Amino acid sequence: MVVWAKVADRNGVLKPTARPLLITSVHPSNKKAPFVAHCISTRRINDADDPTVEMPWDAKTGSGTGLFSECSVVLKWTAIVDQDDVEDISGHVSKEFLDFVLERIARLNESLG
């Protein structure tokens, strides 16, 4: 799912507005537990050391994800989010897309050792 919540930026500063997040891991049995998410950025990141995956989006309808502009999930930017902190659920991604993102994250973590 794509959700919106207030999370700290990469410098640890909590911003006053919610940002989009792609939920990448949930607790297997405790449905109220915090979840792991990867932050979605609307800034174009062209840095091989900071890999991203472009998110599905649609400028007219938000199509599925609820995202209306070009944006990317940042593979090295994670957040642990309490479910009570979610301000909105804007949509979802396909299983194939989520699997692709998770595989990229796993390969990245393997390369970091």
Per-residue pLDDT band for 45 (boundaries 50, 70, 90) equals confident
pLDDT at 43: 82
- The CATH number given to whatever domain includes residue 16 is 2.30.30.110
Residue 112 pLDDT more than 80?
no
Q: What is the token pair recorded at 67? A: 């995202």
Residue 60 CB-density burial (10 A; 0-12 exposed, 13-18 middle, 19+ buried)? exposed
Task: Select from 55, 69, 64 the least CA-distant residue to 89.
Answer: 64
Q: How many domains does the chain have?
A: 1
**Which range marks the domain in which residue 35 is found?**
2-112
Question: Using one digit for the tens of pLDDT, what is the confidence trace for 9-42?
Answer: 888 898 899 999 999 999 989 989 999 999 999 8
Instruction: Record the pTM.
Output: 0.90
User: Assign residue 83 a region: left if phi > 0, alpha if psi is -120 to 50, beta otherwise?
Assistant: alpha
